[in-house]
Structure formats: structure tokens, C-alpha cells
A and B are shown apart, each in its own frame.
Chain A
Amino acid sequence: MLNKDQITQFAKGIVRSQKGLQNHQLMHPRREWLIGIVVALCIFSASIVWSSLKYFEYQNIEQQAVTEPEAPVTVYRKNLVDEALASFAAKQARLNALVGKNTTQIPTVVVDEEAQEGGDSAEETGATSSNPVTATSTPPATSTPVTVPEEPAPKEPLAEQTPSEPEQTPEESAPPDSSEPDEELELQPATNVF
């Protein structure tokens, strides 16, 4: 005889027993096929997206690669070169003026005043004086006009000696020489460094 407990336990066993395979556990060829198709499409779509991204990435790389590395900048300071050339041209002009001028006239202020009074004719004749620097291997003279007026060559004053002082050369008759023979010259070492 079955007692009450056994009957209850038997009933629970029947209730909890398997009711067979569920619907989703059964094989449905159409469903499995569709799932396969969907998975394949997902993989295919992911590949397309990834390939497109890579394509655009590499498409932009060429432009970036060409534009990114800048060529080394070639610096040629033309203004500085022009300034240097102008400076040397000015030196050349001053040298021409010094070589051609009368050595008895040292102060430049006096020379400028005489230049204003002397007119352009003296300048034109002075500018054509020979330039010993350009006659040698030094650079050719530039076209900068001579601003300081040229005076007669140093040898010419020898012929312009006054009769009252026949024994003196013109440069010796200059006031600084005769009046202050012991005076120290206030010459500073010039630095002309380019």
C-alpha cells in the first residue's frame, strides 16, 4: 500500500518529469539556415566596413605623407647680403675719395663744405680717378657714386707750393703738423668686421 507521503512524492515526480523536447530545442532547418545567412551577412558587412575604413585610411595617407615632412628651408638672407655689398661699396667709395683727395685736408667737415661750394664738376672728375684696389685682385668697384668730393692727387700739391715756404710741402704746412707736433692722435682701432 502506498501511504500518503509516497503518493505525494510520486505525484511530484510526475509533475517534475520531462515533458519532452521544447520547441526551440527541436531542429528547424529553415530557422538554422536563416541564422547562418544572418551570421554570414554580419561577417560580410563587418568586412565591408573594415575594408572601407582601411581604404580611406590609406587613401589619406598619401596626402599626409607628402605634406607632413617639410623640406628643409633654404635660408638665403638677401637683405643681409645686399646690406653687406652696400657697405663695401660705401667703403670703396670712401677709399676712392681718400686716395684721390688732398692729404692736407683731414677734417671731413671742411671737405663737405668745399664739396658744396665746388660744384659737381670736381666730383665727376674725382670719381674717374684710378682705383688701385680694383686694379688688383680685389673685387670690382661697385656702382655706388662717390659722395665725398675728390681733390687733386697727393702728388699735385707738391707743385702748388707757395713761394713763401719753398722748403715745406703742402701737407707739412697743415696747422696740426706744425703747431702740435707732440700731440697724440686720437685714433681708435677700427673694426670693420662683416
Chain B
Amino acid sequence: MSPFTLKVTIVSSVLFLVGAGAFAFMWFQTQQQGELLVAQLNTLSEQRAQEEAYFRLRRVADESELERAELSGYFFSGESESIDFLNTVEKLAPESGVTLKTSTLELVTDTDDSKEWVEIGFEFDGSRSRVQNFLMILEELPYVSKITTVDTVAIDQNQWQAKVTMRVRVLTYVE
């Protein structure tokens, strides 16, 4: 092998190695940048999705603000709000012809669903029809409520007494 041939062979080999190295480097960079691009695109799409969800939620919240406010009015926001409720009931009692006494008022937690209720006990007396009517009034109060116990006793021929325990739901939000 002549020196010229040997020289050309060596130069060709070096050039081939350089070219192969450059090709490998570019291939590696392409793969790496591709993965980076995918990650960035995923992040961008997640951000877009979150923005879209946020705007959608905000639109729903704005559109339903009045309805939610009205619905929340049917709940107690806390135990202190029961004072207004009691004032309402105590105002309704004389108008219905019964004598009302509030016996208990406490915050209880339902054992079944672990939700908070304000439990209120009422004792009222009057004629039978008025006691019945006031019971129905308690049932129809526009609150998220339930009457848990009703105990009616005839004191005499014209006088009846009822002991009612009712619960009004306290509004709590689940996060």
C-alpha cells in the first residue's frame, strides 16, 4: 500500500468518524429536544385546560350566583342564624293561636351522614286544630329542615300540647 493510499485511507476514516459522531450527536439532540417539546406541549395543554375549566367554572358561578344565594338562604350558615329562625317561629306562633316555648337549641351532628344540624325543641299548646295547624306550619317552613319527633298530648278537652323537635341543616361545603 502506497503512502498516498494510506494517507487517503486515514483521512477518509477520520472524516467518517467525524461525520458519524456529528450524526449521532444530532440524532441525540433531536431525541432530547423532541422529548422536551412533548413535555412543554403537555404542560401548555394542561395549562390551557385549566384556564378553560377556570373560565367555565367562573361563568357558571356568575350565572348561578342568584340561585345559589337563594338556595343558601334555606340553610343556616351557622348556629347564630337560628336566632332569626326562632324569631320567625315565635312570631308565627301567636298569629296561629298557640303559645310557644322554645325548649332546646343545640348544634348536633348527624351520625349517619356526619352533617351538622341545629336541633330546636318547641313546646306549644292551644286547641287541637291550632296545634295541628302550627305543626303543618313548622313542616312548611322554607328551610332545609326535618321534624324528628312529634309528641302531642291532650291536656283537657280543649287544650292540646305538642312537643316538637326539628332540625335545620347548617350549610357546610365539602372541599
Contacts and interface: CB of A to CB of B under 8 A. Distances in A.
B142 A139 contact: yes
Interface stretch (A2-10, A18-26, A63-71, A114-122): A63-71
8 smallest beta-carbon distances between A and B, as pairs: A139-B73, A71-B49, A65-B41, A137-B84, A190-B139, A95-B140, A181-B157, A191-B146
Contact of A177 (B95, B127, B140, B149): B127
Interface string B126-163: 11111111011101111111111110101011100000
Interface of A: 47, 54, 57-58, 61-62, 65-66, 68-72, 74, 76, 78, 81-82, 84-85, 88, 91-92, 94-95, 98-99, 101, 103-104, 106, 132-133, 136-140, 153-155, 169, 171-172, 174, 176-178, 181-185, 187-194
A184 B95 CA distance: 25
Contact of B128 (A76, A101, A177): A177
A137 B148 contact: no
Interface of B: 23, 30, 34, 37-38, 41-42, 44-46, 48-50, 52-53, 56-57, 60, 64, 67-68, 70-71, 73-74, 81, 84-85, 87-88, 91-92, 95-97, 126-133, 135-137, 139-150, 152, 154, 156-158, 169
A185 B132 contact: yes
Nearest to B153: A184
Contacts of B144: 192-194
Nearest to B42: A65
Given A69-B46, A193-B169, A61 B152 contact: no
Contacts of A132: 88, 91-92, 95
B129 A103 contact: yes
Contacts of A155: 95
Nearest to B136: A98
B34 A189 contact: no
A56 B96 CA distance: 80
A10 B154 CA distance: 146
